[in-house]
Amino acid sequence: MTLTEAKDNLKTLQEKNAAFMNAMALIFYDGATTAPKGVADNRAQALGVLSQESYLLSTSRQTKETLEFLDSNKDSLDDHEKRQVRLLLKDIRMMEKIPMEDYVEFQRLMVKADDVWHKAKENNDWDSFEPILEKVFDYHKKIAAWCAPDKKAYDYWLDRFEEGLSMEACEKFFSTLREHIVPLLKKVQEKPQLDDSIIHGNFPVAEQQAFSYELMKLIGLDLDHVGLSTTEHPFTTSIGSHNDVRITTNYHPDDFSNSMYSVIHEGGHALYESNCAPELAYTALDGGVSMGIHESQSRFFENIIGRSRAFCEYIFPTIQKHFTEVKGTREDLYRAVNRAEPGLIRIEADELTYALHIMVRYELEKRIFADELEVRDLPRRWNKLYKEYLGVDVPDDRRGVLQDSHWAGGNIGYFPSYALGSAYGAQYLRKMKETIDVDECIRSGNFGQIDEWLRERIWKYGCLLTPSEVFRNAVGEEFDPTVFTDYLEKKYSELYDL
């Protein structure tokens, strides 16, 4: 094999990978937005075949020979090629440890589990979900044992979603959060509650949809390359490249703010994904580098920007334009969307209590992976932890252990990245403010400078840098969760007059 041939093979391999990713992402996306209800088996059938073909492609002798050859000729590669080879080899070496039938079976299982979960949640029927969730957890344990036999299973999965993350790091991070958030929440709860009546009413879905598109344009999304659909549990996915990204939302006719913050959150993901450098398309470097960095974008837009006073000031007239029944002031909106209150539902949680929801899930995942908890005992333990961390009683599994799609979708070990992402954002803000009048930009609806800052320091790199390199590259210092807790303490002290 000559170097030129190997480089050609590398390019072709990545284009093929991208096409399979395109097909599989689209099948998933269609299933969650558009597909008729009864076709999950058909989807599983197609995904089974496609994941098998993609597995065969990735682990073929030609692929391995190409990558090993390039790896041993590193000096002749540019930075992009070096990183591509590194990431692809890492994946292959991992994949090879999973027997192909198990790899395919695992893909099929996710599709079925997702379908079973949807129905189980709808019918508040944990029993129908339990057996398949048990299989999902078992597969996660098996895969961890195959791929990283010398690691604890949960550490393996944490690292899969956020390179470098471990239980040790999580424990430290969560204990800092706990130290600050629990007493802060206690003080907040002793004060009179903020009034959020302004966000409630009757808001037609068609109008909410028009508002969604306006929000997407406002934060800087290119609607020619970013689509919007409706689903039950909002998510963002790219379809084979950063040139085609889809966000989703869910409209609550009695509360416009629900979809509004979904759109801003998913819009943050889409900004990150779609602002990858153009030359990274159809390569292993395309798209966001990790879930933590991804959530740091989405939660930055949703909370740090979206729930700021400046944003409420800017967006209030637009809200009144779409929903004429909204009265009151910009300040009423600011207070309403920042009302802190322990609740049952993670995705409806405010900025302050959000991390507590994550900690419940972290504890449960940790214990299952350590064989200290059985899947069948999840609902009981879930309810217990909600009482302990948030002080609320869970009335049914629909609003309890069945609420999230993550476990059914095979995203076990993903949750901590949400909390991590929130914390990263506070540090971005502090850094950004050194050179940009962030509040003034937001107050005037001008996202150009903010997007530019993020694009140049984070977005454009795709997977060229590791998550920790991206973070350090953006802020020029190490991660420090107290920047986030300081931000919360300042914000909520002012809001609740502590």
Instruction: List contacts with a copy of itself (CB under 8 A).
Output: 15-16, 18-20, 22-23, 26-27, 30, 33-39, 41-43, 45-46, 48-50, 53, 206, 222-227, 229, 239-241, 243-244, 246, 282
Query: Residue 114 CB, nearest distance to a copy of itself (Å)?
Result: 16
121 touches 402 (CB < 8 A): yes
Rank residues 42 and 320 by Cβ distance to a copy of itself and give the closer one.
42
SS3 of the chain: CCHHHHHHHHHHHHHHHHHHHHHHHHHHHHHHHCCCCCCHHHHHHHHHHHHHHHHHHHCCHHHHHHHHHHHCCHHHCCHHHHHHHHHHHHHHHHHCCCCHHHHHHHHHHHHHHHHHHHHHHHCCCHHHHHHHHHHHHHHHHHHHHHHCCCCCHHHHHHHHHCCCCCHHHHHHHHHHHHHHHHHHHHHHHHCCCCCCHHHECCCCHHHHHHHHHHHHHHHCCCCCCEEEEECCCCCEEECCCCCCEEEEECCCCCEHHHHHHHHHHHHHHHHHHHCCCHHHCCCCCCCCCCHHHHHHHHHHHHHHHCCCHHHHHHHHHHHHHHCCCCCCCHHHHHHHCCCCCCCCCHHHCCCCCHHHHHHHHHHHHHHHHCCCCCHHHHHHHHHHHHHHHHCCCCCCHHHCCCCCCCCCCCCCCCHHHHHHHHHHHHHHHHHHCCCCCHHHHHHCCCCHHHHHHHHHHCHHHCCCCCHHHHHHHHHCCCCCHHHHHHHHHHHHHHHHCC
Query: Residue 201 CB, nearest distance to a copy of itself (Å)?
Result: 20
Rank residues 52 and 446 by Cβ distance to a copy of itself and give the closer one.
52
- Give 126-133's long-range contacts (Cβ < 8 A, gap of 24+): 126/379, 126/397, 126/401, 126/402, 129/402, 129/408, 130/375, 130/376, 130/378, 132/408, 133/375, 133/378, 133/407, 133/408
CA dist 351 and 178 (Å) reads: 14
Query: Residue 6 CB, nearest distance to a copy of itself (Å)?
Result: 20
Rank residues 107 and 262 by Cβ distance to a copy of itself and give the closer one.
107
Rank residues 275 and 296 by Cβ distance to a copy of itself and give the closer one.
275
Rank residues 26 and 89 by Cβ distance to a copy of itself and give the closer one.
26
Residue 266 falls in the annotated catalytic set: yes
Query: Residue 26 CB, nearest distance to a copy of itself (Å)?
Result: 5
199 touches 337 (CB < 8 A): yes
Rank residues 22 and 411 by Cβ distance to a copy of itself and give the closer one.
22
Rank residues 48 and 445 by Cβ distance to a copy of itself and give the closer one.
48
Query: Residue 484 CB, nearest distance to a copy of itself (Å)?
Result: 34
Rank residues 43 and 252 by Cβ distance to a copy of itself and give the closer one.
43
Query: Residue 50 CB, nearest distance to a copy of itself (Å)?
Result: 6
Rank residues 204 and 391 by Cβ distance to a copy of itself and give the closer one.
204
Which one of 81, 130, 162, 266 is the catalytic residue?
266
Sign of the Cα pseudo-torsion (344, 348, 349, 350, in order):
negative
Q: Residue type at 406?
A: H
Query: Residue 245 CB, nearest distance to a copy of itself (Å)?
Result: 8
Query: Residue 280 CB, nearest distance to a copy of itself (Å)?
Result: 14
Query: Residue 394 CB, nearest distance to a copy of itself (Å)?
Result: 31
Catalytic residues: 266
